Amino acid sequence: MARSLGKPVVLLRNVPQSLLPGLGWLAPSCDAVVDGGLGVQLARFNPVGASAARSTEPVYAEVRDPREAPAVRALLDSLTTGRDAPVRLAAARSWRGLPALYREHAVFVTASDGQGREQLACGARVIGPLGSGLDADAVRAELGKARAASPLSLAEIRGELRDIFISHATPAR
């Protein structure tokens, strides 16, 4: 339909190509292929309303993906299971509820760059993405430092927002 109207056809892949093998045939027929999603929607993900007294208990705010890499799966299992697990799994939230969840907590563990940037935009400290070379001991050390620290100050949040705005905001993408 877009082509018949003289508009460019763009395929937006927000997951790795290997996880969507059924769409491989579509890429060559598009004018452009964009990997990595649309970026951070700063109107949705922002620190407005984030409390300075929010909890620094680390949270993993993603439904566990059965297709995650074995190393990521093992690391997340070691961090989130057991009585003394250092990271709490957040209850599933709808698309609309994610910004509120991100503003409620000061520390997150993430397995995805995109989700980490959304959490940073909401004013949280982010550890990860897991699977990018971090081992369990390094993650546990970062968790200890983040738990002991106070939530990010407005000056620190402002710096993160500038970085996200320049290269990862939806209009910049």
Structure confidence by residue, pLDDT tens digits, 102-151: 999 999 999 888 899 999 999 999 998 887 777 888 888 999 999 999 99
Average pLDDT, the chain: 88
- Calpha distance 76→44 (Å, rounded): 27
Model pTM score: 0.81
How far out from the chain centre does Cα 33 lie?
21
- Calpha distance 148→157 (Å, rounded): 18
From 127, 124, 132, select the one nearest 164 (Cα to Cα).
Answer: 124
Give the pLDDT band of residue 44 (cuts 50, 70, 90): very high
Asked if 87 and 142 touch (Cβ cutoff 8 Å), the reply is: no
pLDDT score recorded for residue 165: 94
How far out from the chain centre does Cα 114 lie?
4
Give me the half-sphere count of Cα atoms (radius 13 Å) on the Cβ side of residue 57: 11
pLDDT score recorded for residue 52: 83
Is residue 65 over pLDDT 80? no
Q: Which stretch of 14-18, 82-86, 94-98 has the lowest confidence by average pLDDT? A: 14-18
